[in-house]
Structure 1
Amino acid sequence: MAASQHLHCFYITATIISYVLSHSCADGARPQELGTYSLQQQAPTNPIHTDRFGVGVALPVVAGPGGGSYVVTVGFGTPKVEFPLLFDTGSDVSWVYCHSCSQGCTPGSPTFNPSLSSTSSNVPCKACDYTVEYHDRSQSIGVYARDTISLADTESQEGFIFGCAEKVSGDFGRTAGVLGLGQGQFSLLAQTDPNLFSIFCYCLPPTDSATGVLWFGVQAMESCRPGASKMISLVVDPNNNGLTNYFVKFTGITIGSQRLDFNSLVSSPMSTIIDSGTVVTRLPPAVYSALRAAFRGMMSGYPTAEPTNLLDTCYNLEGREQDWTPPTMVMHFEDSVDVGLDPSAVTLKEGDGESASRVCLAFAGNGDENELTIIGTQQHRGLRVYYDINGQKLAFAAGGC
């Protein structure tokens, strides 16, 4: 994971691209059967809630260093050890720093030691090693553990399987792991009470010093659920890569009064995911070029500024900061759902508040048309992002935090 010091923002792309499990099973099961045995045949013990949608859980969300990553605090073991974790809808496996970590773990961060927990139990294998590799080639390598997970002071569940990381590469900021909120069998959603975790929602903190919220269950429904006309259908990966991300049909963008319809710009179906682990939205090259050209036309009266490592379209507003407003932007999805972006979601600023003197278009182009299109957290600003797993729907609701 790379970080930009110029825009005070982590450019994290946490979409999982590879998952490897190697182990020797004590019960004689084939290696690929571990997930089935652990997560499907075993009902959750001491489930967090048992009524239809649960009373709900609300976790505070804070911005990670630089504001590009978003962090919740989750406890593991008994007595509980609390870990600041990136919450990531683009991956499944949750993991924390292990006490035996020998590479890449941040000094002074909390670590998990199963021998110090009274509720730790063995995963049903002699050795369960895992490797998770993310889109930016960062990795977490270690062994599986099983213990109680605590999501709030009074909410916990036994028997949760997660990674105990012994080697970490890449930049995860000053966190101690990842909370996987994808749709795969090792995610938090698959291992916990479906009456509670089939629905969740988050709003991201509007500033580095503010606090957002990650809601589950009834609290998510009450805080975020929009009308039926605003729901976007989740779809299976159109390119059949077997990914468990949240795929949607992203059909176009309107910037100012100019609408860009993607079907006239790309030759193959776009695989588009919603990802809380990626900051800046990534677009196919032809789509990004058209958006950039439209933005440049609207900014022709301002001097250009040096680009960053990721953002190539920047302008100097010095002396005119108070008079400038970003162009309006609307994202268009299947089912005739239109999502108006918050003004803060269109550009990234360098500087403090209204005095920021440099602005950059907060989108980037992919290397080729076949790469995933990713709608990242910069474009989630000012919105509440709602996931209904059972209904296979997603929504961007107005309101923010």
Structure 2
Amino acid sequence: MATPTTSFLRFLFLSVLVFLCTLDNLGFALQPRELESEHLTHMHTLNVNSLIPSTTCSPSTKESFDDPSNHYGNEPNYACPIQISFFLDGWKDKSSNKRASLTVVDKHGPCSQLNQDKVKAPTMTEILEQDQSRVNSIHARLSKTLGLNGLRASKATTIPAKSGSTIGSSNYVVTIGLGTPKRDLTLIFDTGSDITWTQCRPCSKSCYQQKEPTFDPSKSSTYSNISCSSSVCSQLSSATGYSPRCSSSTCVYSIQYGDKSFSMGFFGKEKLTLTSSDVFKKFLFGCGKKNQGLFGGAAGLLRLGRDPLSLIQQTTTKYNRVFSYCLPSTSSATGHLTFEKTASSSSAIKFTPLSKLTENTSFYGLNTLGITVGGKKLSIATSVFSNAGTVIDSGTVITRLPQDAYSALKAAFKAKMKSYPLTSGFSLLDTCYDLSKYKTVSIPKISFLFSGNVKVDLDVSGILLAQKISQVCLAFAGNSDNDSIGIFGNVQQRRLEVVYDVAGGRVGFGPAGCT
């Protein structure tokens, strides 16, 4: 039988428990639960094995950002590996607007038709070295164009686009049709330049190896050369950075890229087929007779810049200079490149104005205001971003930040990752971890803040890059100073629905546009 003292102590113990539970339910004394909630809100948890590249192509089910189940709070399936390039499949919105999409594939991944034994996939170090060549070229071009100091410088069509590593970076490729009869050609697409070109027979001195048969203009009933006297011939100067030349009264173009890749040939006019219902009879392009570079089996380049000779400007009557894409998280997932008449009205897409800094260039500029790591905004003066400026580029792999911004990002990331052992960096990447002893890891979420009150939460696949499991690195790099222009690269764009409303002077970002 319990004594009065024992009964009192039991009563007191139960009373304390009830009191503590009451406080807990009211939001007091919730430290463990608060910590768990904070962790779920501001941290990603991923399987370390997801960092290992996949060797199997497993196209994902198409998704739409109009699906109410897709929102920034959703976590992706991390069973897929993180890679540099991607395979994009046709994507269709659930809205009433008809769209035409192109499929995109990782050029060296398991989904790519270009993945041949003859073409050796570049190493991560080689990709990053080539990426720096592209960045140097962008800085130099903008420095020259902008006169900056130092290096600062209702119908839609979706085409199958595939990704690859060429011209100094990891890019994406799409398959289009050219000529009559139509010849399918795989072209790298890029938002940072303007003139579209493909290799043409017969080659003069040199042509690199490509997968499809080289385009032969003599076998197309719709091909014609552009004469030197034509007004469009003179437009090559702004589109390529080089003055046109003449060969027997035919306009000759030439273009060179940051890694010394180049193309030279006749400037021509031909029928371009994106889909069966999206055909353009007088598309201006370069018919390359002398071409050299790291194009990895692709037939040429498809350009989405802002110059009058870009695909976007030449198709403005049909698409009103609106296009979008989603870059999936892995080479075995799918996404899209879409052309449309009007920009999406989905509430999931948040638009930020294009920067005035780059409005007279090929590049699409963003007004960056800040960065958050683990839910906390970094202490970076807004002038650090505004003085340098930022461009978004589908061809640059790693996001480049002004030196002060990168230093703050790196310090905050390392503070959140202090439980994991640091290891040596490689190439551009200097904040790396040895995760070989872990099955799962937790990494801080990272968001970018742009003008127009736009917050873009990066997907987990846009935060880390793995050389190997014992060398997993923060996927950002700093410029050499605070004056060189920042670049929002394609790794950080993974899984985002990125909408370019060029006519409206804005770029939109939405969550989980693909897997």
TM-score category by the smaller chain? Answer: 0.7 to 0.9
TM-superposed deviation, 1:392: 0.9
Which residue of the partner structure matches residue 331 of structure 1?
448
Q: CA RMSD in A?
A: 2.8
- Mapped pair 1:342 → 2:486: no
Q: Partners of 1:104 and 1:263 in 2: how far apart?
A: 49
Q: Partners of 1:9 and 1:197 in 2: how far apart?
A: 34
Which residue of the partner structure matches residue 368 of structure 1?
481
Unaligned regions of 5+ residues in structure 1, if any? 20-52
- Mapped pair 1:61 → 2:161: yes
Q: Partner amino acid for 1:342?
A: D
Q: Partner amino acid for 1:148?
A: K
Q: Larger deviation: 224-233 or 391-400?
A: 224-233
SS at match of 1:68: strand
- Mapped pair 1:253 → 2:371: yes
TM-superposed deviation, 1:105: 1.8
TM-superposed deviation, 1:142: 2.7
Q: Partners of 1:371 and 1:185 in 2: how far apart?
A: 27
Within a 5 Å distance, the mapping from 1:1-400 to structure 2 comes to 5-6=123-124, 12=131, 13=134, 53-54=154-155, 56-64=156-164, 68-99=170-201, 100=203, 102-103=205-206, 105-125=208-228, 126-217=249-340, 221=343, 225-227=345-347, 230-237=350-357, 242-260=360-378, 262-263=380-381, 266=384, 269-320=387-438, 322-350=439-467, 356-400=469-513
TM-superposed deviation, 1:9: 5.3
Larger strand percent: 1
Q: Partners of 2:218 and 2:123 in 1: how far apart?
A: 40
1:97–1:110: 8 Å Cα contact kept in structure 2? no
1:326–1:347: 8 Å Cα contact kept in structure 2? no
TM-superposed deviation, 1:169: 4.2
TM-superposed deviation, 1:310: 2.2
Cα gap change, 1:391 to 1:268, in 2 (>3 Å): closer
Cα gap change, 1:172 to 1:326, in 2 (>3 Å): farther
Q: Partners of 2:320 and 2:273 in 1: how far apart?
A: 14
Cα gap change, 1:6 to 1:306, in 2 (>3 Å): farther
2:210–2:296: 8 Å Cα contact kept in structure 1? no
Q: Partners of 1:381 and 1:267 in 2: how far apart?
A: 22
Q: Partners of 1:68 and 1:205 in 2: how far apart?
A: 13
1:225–1:397: 8 Å Cα contact kept in structure 2? no
1:7–1:349: 8 Å Cα contact kept in structure 2? no
2:320–2:503: 8 Å Cα contact kept in structure 1? no
Cα gap change, 1:103 to 1:364, in 2 (>3 Å): farther
Larger helix percent: 2
SS at match of 1:119: coil
Q: Partners of 1:274 and 1:280 in 2: how far apart?
A: 11
Q: Partners of 1:137 and 1:286 in 2: how far apart?
A: 31
1:69–1:86: 8 Å Cα contact kept in structure 2? yes
Number of residue-to-residue matches in the alignment: 355
1:18–1:133: 8 Å Cα contact kept in structure 2? no
Q: Partner amino acid for 2:354?
A: L
Q: Partners of 1:372 and 1:167 in 2: how far apart?
A: 32
Unaligned regions of 5+ residues in structure 2, if any? 1-120, 143-153, 229-248
TM-superposed deviation, 1:135: 4.3
2:267–2:285: 8 Å Cα contact kept in structure 1? yes
Cα gap change, 1:7 to 1:359, in 2 (>3 Å): farther
Structure-2-length-normalised TM-score: 0.63
Cα gap change, 1:197 to 1:180, in 2 (>3 Å): farther
Q: Partners of 1:300 and 1:140 in 2: how far apart?
A: 48
Q: Partner amino acid for 1:314?
A: C
Q: Partners of 2:348 and 2:376 in 1: how far apart?
A: 27
Cα gap change, 1:18 to 1:162, in 2 (>3 Å): farther
2:210–2:299: 8 Å Cα contact kept in structure 1? no
TM-superposed deviation, 1:235: 2.1
1:78–1:118: 8 Å Cα contact kept in structure 2? yes
Deviations 1:45-93 (A, max 9, x none): xxxxxxxx32x21112333269932111111111112221111111111
1:65–1:174: 8 Å Cα contact kept in structure 2? no
Q: Partners of 2:483 and 2:258 in 1: how far apart?
A: 14
TM-superposed deviation, 1:106: 2.1
1:205–1:211: 8 Å Cα contact kept in structure 2? yes
Q: Partner amino acid for 1:246?
A: Y
1:94–1:178: 8 Å Cα contact kept in structure 2? yes
Q: Partners of 2:205 and 2:510 in 1: how far apart?
A: 43
Q: Partners of 1:339 and 1:244 in 2: how far apart?
A: 23
Cα gap change, 1:197 to 1:116, in 2 (>3 Å): farther
Structure-1-length-normalised TM-score: 0.80
Q: Partners of 1:8 and 1:267 in 2: how far apart?
A: 29
Identity among equivalent positions (%) equals 39
TM-superposed deviation, 1:237: 2.2
Cα gap change, 1:136 to 1:107, in 2 (>3 Å): closer
2:368–2:386: 8 Å Cα contact kept in structure 1? no
Q: Partners of 1:163 and 1:65 in 2: how far apart?
A: 21
Q: Partners of 2:471 and 2:455 in 1: how far apart?
A: 29
Q: Partner amino acid for 2:200?
A: C
